[in-house]
Amino acid sequence: MLWDPHSEAVSVEARAGVQLERLHATVAWAQERVPFYRERLAGMAVASLEDLARLPFTRKSDLRDHYPFGLLAVPLAEVARIHASSGTKGKPTFVAYTREDLDVWREVMARMMVAAGGRPGDLLHVAFGYGLFTGGLGFHDGAERIGMTVVPASSGNTARHQLLLADFRPAGLAATPSFALHIAEVMRAGGQRPDQLGLRYGMFGAEPWSEGVRRALETAYGCPAFDIYGLSEIVGPGVAGECEAREGLHVADDHFFPEIVDPSSGEPVPSGQEGELVLTTLTKRALPMIRYRTGDVTAFVPGPCRCGRTSRRIVRIKGRSDDMLVIKGVNVHPSEIEATLLASDDLAPHYQLIVDRRTTLARLSVEVEPSPGAVERWGGFFPGQPALETVRHRIGERLREAIGLSVEVSLVAPGTVPRSEGKAVRIVERPSGRSQVS
């Protein structure tokens, strides 16, 4: 089922016409209303979609430099709502929506949730945080637009999620993948069966997650797990999402125009190649974004999708280009390590990467918990166990093969890796102990 067949299954040519018309209007709107764009785009015009690639990029630093409201294209009185990015680095960046912007957001979220299996009348348990973070209210508004019944559970207070899920038996669950795994674990520890809740679908996003985590979520909840992507600077969740084919995420590209560029040169990469996603809003009124560098690494999926949607698709986000670790000259995305760890059924999806920069060459180690199945097979978990050494060695070898780097692997006691109620902290820097959201 498509939420809005007229927009989602329109021919590629017709969509290009809509995109160009909207791009013209956006560039004109930004030039007329925002001094920053007026200066940046002076004398520039876009006659075709290809011309977009000639315009300068907008970056997170531009939002910071015009903190809090310097890039607004409407008077504050016309702003209906304000959200903020959840970044832990520096000041948050505020984003603003007019009433029309909120309507567009609801529409694109409704599309994404219907693509994941959401239907009018379904009960949806929203375990994304409510507040300045866009996750909670983004899913909430989209679900109401579809005509779902929403349980605005928000993040935190895991025991309450346990109770609400068991008693209300929702059709859908929306959460960060790491928090959803944590809820399932707490339920199982309390003798409940999350796979018997009767969930029909889970919608996960806001942080990178691998196919291994998808398998863990699907086993834990006994339902398919769908990936939904977005960022506050563009709209929040609803920029792209998976359909039932789950062969990439459909971008709502009649509202957000995607490009993929080489992160160092800024030039478009050949089709199908990996690079940084750059997005241009085509309908935003309060805060138009022209060629916004998302920092997120992905690639276009070539060809049409069998679901009938004609929008461009991107592969699941591999990570942020600025979260890429450079260890002994080797570039590693945490998600590549996650994929290798979770390919082993001896390991649980609870891990942290420790980057030690106290020596001249930074060292990377991994702390990971064994899976409950492995602990059962081994008859418990205790230091010095021969099985630990075998697994440790094997995983170290696999990581070396996969990423070309020797990584110290430690198996730590079940329950000791910090659990997340929002975006998981995967990278810990030593010696400072400073951690960053990845």
Residues contributing to the site for ligand DLL (CB under 6 A): 85-86, 128, 133-135, 138, 205-208, 227-232, 236-237, 294, 296, 317, 320
Residue closest to ligand DLL (Cβ)? 205
CA pair distance 288, 281, nearest whole angstrom: 6
Least gap, CB of 281 to ligand DLL (angstroms): 14
- CB nearer to ligand DLL: pick between 31 and 352: 352
Q: Which residues are registered as beta bridge partners of 347?
A: 370
Between residues 111 and 370, which has the closer beta carbon with respect to ligand DLL?
111
- Least distance from ligand DLL to the Cβ atom of residue 344, Å: 22
Phi/psi for 257 (5° steps) reads -85, 120
Alpha-carbon distance values, 298 to 204, 266, 276, 316, 421 (Å): 17, 14, 6, 7, 26
Q: Which is nearer to ligand DLL, 19 or 134 (CB)?
A: 134
Instruction: Tell me the C-alpha distance between 353 and 366, whole Å.
Output: 5
Question: What are the b/e assignments for 276-308, b being 16+ CB within 10 Å?
Answer: bbbbbbbbbbbbbbbbbbbbbbbbbbeeebebe
280's enclosing H/E stretch is strand 275-281
Closest contact distance (angstroms) between CB of 136 and ligand DLL is: 8
Three-class SS state of 228: strand
CB of 155 to ligand DLL, least distance (A): 11
- Closest-CA residue to 8 (of 108, 150, 119, 151): 108
Q: State the minimum distance, in angstroms, from the CB of residue 424 to ligand DLL.
A: 11
Of 85 and 371, the one with the shorter C-beta distance to ligand DLL is 85
Judge whether 109 and 238 are in contact, CB under 8 Å: yes
Burial group, residue 93, by CB count within 10 angstroms (0-12, 13-18, 19+): buried
Residues 6+ away with beta carbon under 8 Å from 425: 352, 418, 435, 436, 437, 438
Secondary structure string (H, E, C) spanning 292-325: EEEEEEECEECCCCCCCCCCCEECCCCEEHHHCE
CA distance 255 to 279: 10
Our CB check for ligand DLL shows the closer of 232 and 281 to be: 232
Beta carbon nearer to ligand DLL, 180 or 388: 180
Q: What is the amino acid identity at position 166?
A: A
Q: How far is the CB of 107 from ligand DLL (least distance, A)?
A: 16
Instruction: Decide if 291 contacts 259 (C-beta within 8 A).
Output: yes
> CB of 183: closest distance to ligand DLL in angstroms?
16
Those residues whose C-beta lies under 8 Å from the C-beta of residue 380, and which sit 6 or more positions away, are none
> 294 or 420: whose CB is closer to ligand DLL?
294
Residue 319 to residue 195: CA distance in whole angstroms: 29
Task: Specify the residue, 297 or 375, whose C-beta has the smaller distance to ligand DLL.
Answer: 297
Select 201 or 381, whichever has its Cβ closest to ligand DLL: 201
Shortest distance in whole angstroms from residue 57 CB to ligand DLL: 15
Least spacing, CB of residue 205 vs ligand DLL, in Å = 3
Q: In terms of CB distance, is 205 or 334 closer to ligand DLL?
A: 205
CB of 235 to ligand DLL, least distance (A): 9
